[in-house]
Amino acid sequence: MVKQIAHIGYPKTGTYWFRNNLYFRLQKYEIIQNSTIQQAIITVNALKFAPEKAQEMLKDYLGKDIIIDFHGFIGTTHAFGASGYLTKEHCTRLKEVFGDIHIVLMLRNQIDLIDSHYKQHIIEGGTYSTKKYINFRSNFSFINALTLFDKDHFDFYSQVKFQQKLFGEDRVHVYFFEEFSENPEEFCRKMFDDLKITEYPDNVDYSISNGSLPMSYYKILRFLNRFSKYYVVNKDYYFTVPLLFNLTRKRSMRNWLFKRSTYKKRYAFSEKQRMYIADLYRESNNKMIDELGFNEVKKYKYPL
């Protein structure tokens, strides 16, 4: 029986780790490169997309055991899901091309997840303060605000219900990043059993190395980002200093800044901002428990 799986995110829930440390080690599955998925499905103009054309481009994978690991189907750390338009469009394309594919959806406490998204905004050249990051959308018309922070992007109840309606309840597999973080090996073996993947790779590195850096590091980067136009579109900058962006991302420079960073605060957002974020998702998270039966939401202390 052919098994086709798409691990679609969320971003900042270990998607890259699963691809590089787990999926690529499998012998019986073909892993479709993200560049191939983007070319065939993601970046095609919506008025020109045709499932049969995408299937022709992906013909070497159709009818085979494959794994797609690409969070672009959900959205990105910078464009989110464009008010759900991109999420709906891209996932519908995935369904049209691959049919009865199984979906892996990884969730994470919204406070931690949004905090991680903000830090990625800084890492990739952003300059917004935390206040501007989560509130700037209100200053623009709906169309002009499509790629700014979207609170509804992290409404897990609506996301899960959409995926279940599109792909079928029995084909949407929801997992929790906190459970993975507790014991990566045990989690991965349990997930493989759930997905009925009979093969398990040897010599998997279960260390999770992309831990958060001190907040002072992000503050330094945020200031320096004002002198570079790269890479985030939604940012403020004065002018571009050649090579500055690449220089500040070198490991040696990061280590130098890290050693001089003593402010060890965990979150970028203040306690008041975190309470605001929590209030946004209490209703959705309670529905995750009451209507969908995901008691992990309570276990891992998501906002309720």
**Quick one: 140 and 254 in the same domain?**
no
Distance of CA 129 to the CA centre of its chain: 21
pLDDT given at position 263: 52
Same domain flag for 159 and 19: yes
- The domain total for the chain is 2
Tens of each residue's pLDDT in the chain, 304 residues: 669 999 999 999 999 999 999 999 999 999 999 999 999 999 999 999 999 999 999 999 999 999 999 999 999 988 899 999 999 999 999 999 999 999 999 999 999 999 999 999 999 999 999 999 999 888 888 888 888 999 999 999 999 999 999 999 999 999 999 999 999 999 999 999 999 999 999 889 998 765 567 788 888 889 999 999 988 888 998 989 988 888 887 767 666 666 655 555 689 999 999 999 999 999 999 999 999 999 999 999 999 9
Residue 185 sits in a domain whose CATH number is 3.40.50.300
Count helices and strands in the chain by DSSP H and E runs: 14, 5
Q: Are residues 76 and 24 in the same domain?
A: yes
What integer pLDDT is reported at residue 94 of this predicted model? 98
Give the other-Cβ count within 10 Å of 243's Cβ: 9
Q: In what order do the strands lie in the sheet with 102-107?
A: 30-31, 66-69, 4-7, 102-107, 172-176
Q: What is the pLDDT at residue 201? A: 92
Distance between CA 167 and CA 163 in Å, rounded? 6
Residue 250 within a domain:
yes
Q: What is d(CA 242, CA 159) in angstroms, rounded to the nearest whole number?
A: 41
Among 105, 119, 126, 106, which residue's Cα sits nearest to residue 223? 126
**Structural domain includes residue 296:** no
The residue among 61, 59, 55, 73 whose CA lies nearest residue 31 is 61
- Look up the pTM and report it: 0.93
User: Does 109 reside within a domain?
Assistant: yes
In-domain check, residue 60: yes
Residue 264: per-residue pLDDT: 54
Taking a C-beta distance cutoff of 8 angstroms, is the pair 191, 175 a contact?
yes
Residue 112 and residue 185 share a domain: yes
Residue 241 and residue 131 share a domain: no
Do the domain assignments include residue 299?
A: no
Where is the domain boundary, 176, 210, 244? 210
Q: Is position 281 within any domain?
A: no
- Tokens encoding 234: 């939604």
Q: Which amino acid is located at 160 in the chain?
A: V
- Helix residue ranges per DSSP H, the chain: 15-17, 34-37, 51-57, 85-98, 110-123, 130-135, 156-167, 177-182, 184-195, 215-224, 244-248, 251-259, 271-290, 296-299
Q: What is the pLDDT of residue 260?
A: 56
With a CB cutoff of 8 Å and minimum separation 6, the contacts of 48 are none
**Separation CA 29–CA 48 (nearest Å):** 30
d(CA 163, CA 103): 8
What residues form DSSP beta bridges with 76?
A: 80
Q: What is the pLDDT at residue 212?
A: 62
Peptide bond into 10 cis (omega under 30): yes
Is there a single domain that holds both residue 164 and residue 248?
A: no
Q: In terms of domains, do 91 and 193 share one?
A: yes
In which element (H, E) is residue 66 found?
A: strand 66-69
Q: Is residue 245 part of a domain?
A: yes
Q: Quick one: 125 and 236 in the same domain?
A: no
From CA 37, how far away is CA 34, in angstroms rounded?
5
Domain check: are 175 and 233 in the same one? Answer: no
Give just the sign of the alpha carbon dihedral 179, 181, 184, 186. Answer: negative
- Is 275 a member of any domain? no
Place of tokens 């459970």: 179
Answer yes or no: do 183 and 119 share one domain: yes
Verify that 118 and 24 share a domain, yes or no.
yes
Q: HEC string of 72-96?
A: HHCCECCCECCCCHHHHHHHHHHHH
Q: In this structure, which amino acid lies at residue 86?
A: L
Q: Are 228 and 238 in contact (CB under 8 A)?
A: no
Q: Which domain holds residue 233?
A: 215-259
